[in-house]
Amino acid sequence: MAPGGQTAAAQQSGTAVSNAGMPLSVTWLDSLRIDSSAVERRAATLVARRTVKKEWQVAWLLRAISCMDLTTLSGDDTEQRVLRLCAKARRPLSEEVRAALGLGDLRVQAAAVCVYHRFVAAARRALEGSGVRVAAVSSGFPAGLSPFAERLAEIRNSVAEGADEIDVVITRAHVLEGRWQALYEEVAAFKDACAGRHCKVILSTGELGTLRNVARTSLVAMMAGADFIKTSTGKESVNATLPVGLVMLRTLRDYCARTGEVVGFKPAGGIRSAKQALEWLLLIREELGTAWLSGERFRFGASGMLTDIERQLAYHGSGRYAAVHRQPLV
């Protein structure tokens, strides 16, 4: 049995595994050091030296779709918009593109649909039997500044409505003021309120100040039981970047090596093109290995990216780029 109670087979299979967490280790936090120049250089050279072409690119883009959380988190969201997004998650590629690629009966669908709490029940009904999960943003998304009791109640309500996953936001001030115990207790309370559903902890990395803070926040969230660590809400001025992703992935890798616990990763915000999707998949493969190239361990928090992926797949199948309006998202 591997440390943390998980078998080696479970760690390699790509199946969903809940992170049991561990006691807060301030000594481990204090030992973290980040060479920002080296991180930026590694992130830049990685995507420059790796390319995916032709039929291999088709396979990678199909994998990207299977790792997507199709998301609508706008103030003007309606139930009809959510239902259209759910239909797209169930069948993200048009029949024309599927035929051109010769996919036959191959099942291609998104991993989850991510919505505000009030739309969880509607999404649950629309996705019933599909295998596509329902994710709810809770705990005072996106700022995380509402009263703590209300944040916990929102999580519990989303669970009661049928959400499979809960995307929670941390109190950024805990990080900026070095209150690691408070952050640990906050995330642990969120995890408990999730009642066995996957707890995806949004770090809002663009508001944490330094890459060292990103690493330490990632580690505290995992110690407290986060099943996924997620870069951003998508509402910050700076969202998912490859250097930030690299820091989070290496912290995740170290945590897994020390504890045996498997934690997922979700970049979100600003990822809009097929090229960016390939860059993130390459980063995951290089840093964590192929076991993480699965919707059980890796997610894109993106929706607009699907339009460009479908256009690229249409080109591979027919030799022509389809107009954007031919692949409406909602």
pLDDT in tens, 31-79: 999 999 999 999 998 877 777 777 889 999 999 999 999 999 999 999 9
- pLDDT above 70 covers a percentage of the chain that reads 91
The answer on pLDDT for 11 being more than 60 is no
The whole-number pLDDT of residue 319 equals 67
Q: What per-residue confidence (pLDDT) applies to 16?
A: 61
Candidates 167, 191, 200, 227; catalytic one: 167
pLDDT of residue 315: 86
pLDDT at 317: 76
Question: Could you confirm whether 200 is annotated as catalytic?
Answer: no
In the CATH scheme, what is the homologous superfamily, with its name and number, of domain 26-326? Aldolase class I (3.20.20.70)
The whole-number pLDDT of residue 8 equals 36
Which of helix, strand or coil describes residue 284? Answer: helix
Distance in angstroms (rounded) separating the CA atoms of residues 53 and 216: 37
Identify the pLDDT of residue 324.
Answer: 61
Q: One-letter amino acid identity for 41?
A: R
Question: What are the sequence ranges of the domains in the chain?
Answer: 26-326
- Average pLDDT on 99-108 reads 93
Question: What 8-state DSSP symbol labels residue 77?
Answer: -
Q: Which of 88, 191, 200, 230 is catalytic?
A: 230
Are 309 and 64 spatial neighbours (Cβ–Cβ below 8 Å)?
yes
Q: Where are the alpha helices (DSSP H) in the chain?
A: 8-13, 26-31, 36-49, 54-66, 79-90, 95-101, 120-126, 148-161, 172-176, 180-193, 211-223, 242-259, 274-288, 304-318
Say if CB 254 and CB 291 are below 8 A apart: no
Distances (CA, A) of 175 to 1, 65, 203: 34, 33, 10
Question: Which one from 164, 191, 266, 308 is the annotated catalytic residue?
Answer: 266
Mean pLDDT score, 270-280: 94
Instruction: Kindly tell me if the per-residue pLDDT of 10 is higher than 70.
Output: no
